[in-house]
Structures are given as structure tokens and as C-alpha cells.
């Protein structure tokens, strides 16, 4: 299964669909044939996350079609059109346009980077097309830049930061330094951390901040600057290759010794596997400890994923599997592929997933999918998570009054 360049058409069988109806051909397509979804993502630049995500979407699509497809629509099968979004807002908008006008997809889903997700959300709003944003974390997507056509599955930056704050607020640490990538996600995470810690910890202060460019961290300079702050706690938002370089340099210089570290996303296999035996121990983090989740549905998912792909699942895998089943439930409830019917079906929809019940809050189109919170540890030469608990996203969402004020503005 390959992903072709942004400038070319690439139809790949395999996911769920949900719909809208802008053109005559798409309206006609509602009556018969597969229900097609346009899925665009950073398959090239963010392959560590996006490829396992796509794998699990294909796994779920195959299972749903084998079970009879979308029964409320006469057993129509699901089909996905996978495209690379180019990892830029401009490329993503062009891909979204091509999916809608040339591929006649029912609706759009996907994206990874926050700025790309916002661009596709704007496109969806202008074209009145449903967009199920699956991975971007930016709060703006469902807050100030939210619109009625855009929904989000993953817990946003505020939710995951709040989970970490709850986990470290009673440790007596007041002097913190922050390191985050210098784009919307990193800046938002830093702002949320300051706001939530200031409310939770008397005497909290930030004594230093570092915002390296995404994908271009100068680990030596960044670690050196953070060490000079003499902070007692460190809030880390780096991920991917930036995280690996930062951890290696920090371990070498002893940056993490005798410091409390709260770290977004580090417990996700996508980022922990590359760390290997360099994984620092005792970091409080959000993640996905797939090997410790002992529920029947999740065990079956892991077994099926490993059998098909000869690999262990990543957080992207979990998300892709959950997304497809949410789409199935939406279509069954809507009994239609028309945009307005789909919006009505998705608002307030509760899906039973391998992570537990997930509801799409109607107020802001943010799902209640949660995350696992625990501490990093070494298991042989590989990192893992210990002291794990599942944090239900329903308990960490933006207050309703704040949502109303942000979306009204």
C-alpha cells in the first residue's frame, strides 16, 4: 500500500466513510456503492505515527465490511482514499479540494500537525464539508477557530496538559522550566501548563523557557540553557526526533537528575521506542502502554494487529481503530451520507471503543477520548510506563462557559 505524491490521485481501499453532498455526482453516489472517506495525513513527514494509524484503519475497515458493512445503508461497504497532506497548510487545502471534487469522497478525516488541521477545518467550513480531525492537538480547532463542520477525536492540548498537572501538583515543586517546539501546539501546551499550575500550586513560577524550532532542536544549547535555570521541575513538550536528541543530551549532562519532569506524549510508543535504553526513568507522562491494557476488546485488537502487520500497535494504531468505529456508528445513526444528517448524528454520539466509551460533546465537537498517565521506566533495554491509570477525557475538557465564550468570539 503506497501513498502517492500530493499532486497525483491515489485511491486506496480500506476505511470507513461518512459524507456530505456538494456535487451532483456525490449526491448520486449516496445511493449505491462503497461509502468513501477522504483521509489526508502526514504519511511522509510523520510516518512513525501516521503509518500505524493507517494500518489500524485498514484493519477496522476490513472487519466492518466483513461483518456486513453499514447496515443502515443497505450493507454498503466502507472505502478510504488515503492521501499525503504535504505537512503544510497550503498542500493540505489543495489535497482536501481534490478529494472532494475529483474523488467524490463522503467526508474528510485525518491530519496530524496543528497548523494543517486548522487549514483543513477552515476549508471544511467554507465548503460545508464534514471534517473529523483525528490527530491534531491544537485547542483552537474546537475553541476560537471551531466551526460546525469540524470535530476532533484526540484529547486536545489543554486536556492532556491538565492530566499531567493533576499528576504533579501535589509534589511540592514550584520552580519550573519549560521546553516546547516553537509552533502552535508547543506554545499552547506551555500556556496551558502555566495557567493550570498557577491555579493548582501556590508559589508556582516559571524560571526559564526554551522554544526550539520544530524538527531543528539544538539539543546542546537547549539543555545548557535549561540547566542554568536551576529549576526543580521541567515541563517537556518535545516529541519525535527532537525528543530523542534532547533526551540523549540531557542524560549526558545530568539535566533530569533530581528534577521532576512532566512530559507530554513521551509514553507513546512512537516516541518511546526510538529512545530505547536511553529512556529516562520517572518522568510523568501521557502515553499508550498497550502491553498493560488488559480488556477483552483491546486484547483482541492487539492480537489482530500483530497478526496482520507483524508489529506491535502504536498510539496511532489505537486512534485509527477508534476513529473507524466512530465513523461506523455515526453512519448507522445518521442512516445517510448527507452532511447535515452526519453532523446531527455525530453530535452527542457515544461509541463503545477499545479505550472505553467515547462521546462527541455537542457543545464544541470535542470527543471524550482520554489518555493513559504514568511514569517512564526501563524494561530491559526498552522504555515502558509504570503506575499507569487511564484518564477519562470527560473529566479534563474545557469548562462549558469557556467554550461558549471562545466560540462566540
Q: How do residues 197-250 score in pLDDT, each as one tens digit?
A: 999 999 999 999 999 998 899 999 999 999 999 999 999 999 999 999 999 999
Residues 320 and 278 grouped into a single domain: no
366-391 pLDDT, tens digit per residue, is: 999 999 999 999 999 999 999 999 99
Q: Which of 131, 105, 70 is nearest to 335 (CA)?
A: 70
Q: Is the C-alpha dihedral spanning 104, 109, 115, 118 positive or negative?
A: positive
In a domain, 124, yes or no: yes
For residue 296, the model assigns a pLDDT of: 84
Contact 211, 182 (CB under 8 A): yes
In a domain, 94, yes or no: yes
In a domain, 112, yes or no: yes
Crossing angle between the packed helical segments 47-66 and 315-334, to the nearest 10 degrees: 40
Q: Which of 382, 312, 328 is nearest to 52 (CA)?
A: 312
Q: How far apart are CA 57 and CA 73, in angstroms?
A: 20
The domain that contains 232 carries what CATH number? 3.40.50.2300
Residues 343 and 383 grouped into a single domain: no
Residues 55 and 162 grouped into a single domain: no
C-alpha cell read off for 348: 452527542
What is the count of structural domains for the chain?
2
Residues 298 and 275 grouped into a single domain: no
Q: 0.85 cut: is pTM over it?
A: yes
For residue 22, the model assigns a pLDDT of: 38
What does DSSP say about strands 233-236 and 260-267: parallel, antiparallel, or unpaired? Answer: parallel
In a domain, 2, yes or no: no
In a domain, 16, yes or no: no
- Reduced 3-state DSSP string for 68-125: CCEHHHCCECEEEEEEECCCCHHHHHHHHHHHHHCCCCCEEEECCCHHHHHHHHHHHH
Ramachandran area for residue 295 (φ above 0: left; ψ -120 to 50: alpha; else beta): beta
Q: Which of 48, 159, 57, 33 is nearest to 109 (CA)?
A: 57
Residues 392 and 250 grouped into a single domain: yes
Q: What share of the chain is helix, strand, coil (3-state, %, to 5)?
A: 45, 20, 35
For residue 31, the model assigns a pLDDT of: 57
In a domain, 13, yes or no: no
State the CB neighbour count (10 A cutoff) for residue 233: 23
113-127 pLDDT, tens digit per residue, is: 999 999 999 999 999
C-alpha cell read off for 322: 477508534
Residues 273 and 335 grouped into a single domain: no
Residues 245 and 389 grouped into a single domain: yes
C-alpha cell read off for 342: 452526519
Residues 167 and 212 grouped into a single domain: yes
In a domain, 15, yes or no: no
Domain that holds residue 275: 158-292+371-408
Residues 54 and 183 grouped into a single domain: no
Residues 125 and 174 grouped into a single domain: no
Dihedral angle computed from the Cα positions of residues 317, 12, 17 and 106, in that order, rounded to the nearest 10 degrees: 140
In a domain, 211, yes or no: yes
Query: What is the per-residue DSSP string for 270-309?
Result: HHHHHHGGGPPSS-EEEE--GGG---HHHHHHHHHHHHHH
Residues 265 and 380 grouped into a single domain: yes
Which residues of the chain fall short of a pLDDT of 50?
1-30
With 0-12 / 13-18 / 19 or more C-beta atoms within 10 angstroms meaning exposed / middle / buried, residue 191 is middle
For residue 372, the model assigns a pLDDT of: 98
Backbone phi, psi, residue 109, to 5°: -145, 170
Residues 245 and 381 grouped into a single domain: yes
For residue 295, the model assigns a pLDDT of: 85
Amino acid at each position: 500500500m503506497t501513498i502517492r505524491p500530493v499532486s497525483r490521485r491515489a485511491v486506496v481501499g480500506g476505511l470507513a466513510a461518512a459524507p456530505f453532498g456538494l456535487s451532483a455526482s456525490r449526491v448520486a453516489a449516496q445511493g449505491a456503492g462503497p461509502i468513501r472517506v477522504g483521509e489526508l495525513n502526514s504519511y511522509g513527514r510523520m510516518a512513525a505515527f501516521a503509518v500505524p494509524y493507517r494500518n489500524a484503519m485498514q484493519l477496522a475497515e476490513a472487519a466492518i465490511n466483513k461483518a456486513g458493512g453499514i447496515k443502515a445503508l443497505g450493507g454498503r461497504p466502507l472505502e478510504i482514499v488515503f492521501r499525503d497532506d504535504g505537512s503544510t497548510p497550503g498542500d493540505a487545502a489543495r489535497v482536501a479540494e481534490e478529494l472532494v471534487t475529483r474523488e467524490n469522497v463522503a467526508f474528510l478525516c485525518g491530519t496530524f500537525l496543528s497548523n494543517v488541521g486548522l487549514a483543513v477545518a477552515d476549508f471544511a467550513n467554507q465548503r460545508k464539508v464534514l471534517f473529523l480531525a483525528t490527530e491534531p492537538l491544537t485547542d483552537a480547532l474546537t475553541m476560537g477557530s471551531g466551526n460546525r463542520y469540524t470535530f476532533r477525536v484526540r484529547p486536545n492540548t489543554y486536556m492532556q496538559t491538565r492530566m499531567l498537572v493533576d499528576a504533579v501538583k501535589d509534589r511540592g515543586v514550584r520552580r519550573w522550566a519549560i521546553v516546547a517546539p516553537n509552533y502552535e501546539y508547543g506554545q499552547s501546551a506551555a500556556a496551558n501548563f502555566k495557567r493550570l499550575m498557577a491555579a493548582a500550586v501556590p508559589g508556582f513560577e516559571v524560571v526559564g523557557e526554551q522554544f526550539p524550532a520544530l524538527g531543528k532542536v539544538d539539543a546542546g544549547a537547549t539543555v545548557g540553557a535549561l540547566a542554568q535555570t536551576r529549576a526543580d521541575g521541567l515541563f517537556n513538550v518535545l516529541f519525535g526526533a527532537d525528543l530523542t536528541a534532547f533526551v540523549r543530551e540531557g542524560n549526558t549532562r545530568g539535566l533530569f537528575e533530581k528534577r521532576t519532569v512532566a512530559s507530554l506524549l513521551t509514553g507513546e510508543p512512537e516516541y518511546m521506542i526510538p529512545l530505547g535504553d536511553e529512556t529516562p526513568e520517572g518522568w510523568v507522562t501521557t502515553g499508550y502502554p498497550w502491553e498493560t491494557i488488559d480488556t477483552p476488546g483491546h486484547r483482541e485488537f492487539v492480537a489482530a494487529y500483530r497478526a496482520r502487520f507483524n508489529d506491535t500497535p502504536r498510539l496511532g494504531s489505537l486512534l485509527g481503530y477508534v476513529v473507524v468505529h466512530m465513523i461506523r456508528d455515526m453512519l448507522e445513526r445518521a442512516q445517510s451520507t448527507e452532511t447535515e444528517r452526519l453532523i446531527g448524528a455525530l453530535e452527542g454520539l457515544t461509541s463503545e471503543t477499545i479505550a472505553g466509551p467515547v462521546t462527541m460533546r455537542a457543545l464544541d465537537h470535542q470527543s471524550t477520548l482520554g489518555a493513559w498517565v504514568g511514569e517512564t521506566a526501563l524494561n530491559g533495554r526498552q522504555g515502558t510506563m509504570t503506575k499507569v491509570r487511564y484518564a477519562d477525557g470527560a473529566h479534563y475538557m474545557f469548562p462549558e462557559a469557556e467554550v461558549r465564550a471562545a466560540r462566540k468570539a
